[in-house]
């Protein structure tokens, strides 16, 4: 496969996300991480900060790049000449949500596939929301996020 899109909010990126990125990059020539911007959604970090955190977290990877986009992810995949999008699945509730989204995307463009990768057990409970809640209450998230992200979270919640 030439190109795969990995869309998400990544607010912030976690080691679970990085695991999905590292596994997906081996399935394609280029992996595009799409930081999705949704004006309806409140994020802790700006679009620029999220892109920066991801770029620093993946600088060791060759065939991966980061973009920030808004709109439909299936349209992004289409415009990027991607054949597929990848989504990580941690639990049954993720699957139910992702199945609905993948089905809608398939109706919008039957040529774009959705690939589900199951989270490794050590990341099955890790979410950006949980990381932010722990960090907000001054808990240790150093085993859940890259060092640079841990530093950004500490900086954000010290204020």
Catalytic residues: 17, 41, 90, 128
- The DSSP-derived string for the chain is --EEEEEE--TT--HHHHHHHHHHGGGSSEEEEEEEE-TTS--SS-HHHHHHHHHHHTTT-SSEEEEEEES-HHHHHHHTT-SEEEEEE-SHHHHHHHHHHHHHHHHH-TTSEEEEEEPPGGGTT--HHHHHHHHHTT---TTTS-HHHHHHHHHHHH-
């Amino acid at each position: 496969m030439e190109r795969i899109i990995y869309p998400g909010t990544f607010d912030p990126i976690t080691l679970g996300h990085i695991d999905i990125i590292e596994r997906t990059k081996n399935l394609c020539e280029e992996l595009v991480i799409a930081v999705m911007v949704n004006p309806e959604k409140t994020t802790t970090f700006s679009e620029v900060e999220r892109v920066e955190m991801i770029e620093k977290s993946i600088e060791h990877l060759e065939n991966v790049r980061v973009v920030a986009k808004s709109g439909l992810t299936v349209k992004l995949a289409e415009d990027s000449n991607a054949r597929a999008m990848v989504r990580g699945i941690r639990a049954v509730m993720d699957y139910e949500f992702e199945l609905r989204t993948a089905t809608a995307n398939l109706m919008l463009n039957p040529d774009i596939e959705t690939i589900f990768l199951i989270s490794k057990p050590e990341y099955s409970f890790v979410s950006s929301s949980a990381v932010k809640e722990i960090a907000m209450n001054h808990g240790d998230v150093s085993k859940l996020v890259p060092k640079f992200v841990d530093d950004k979270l500490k900086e954000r919640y010290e204020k």
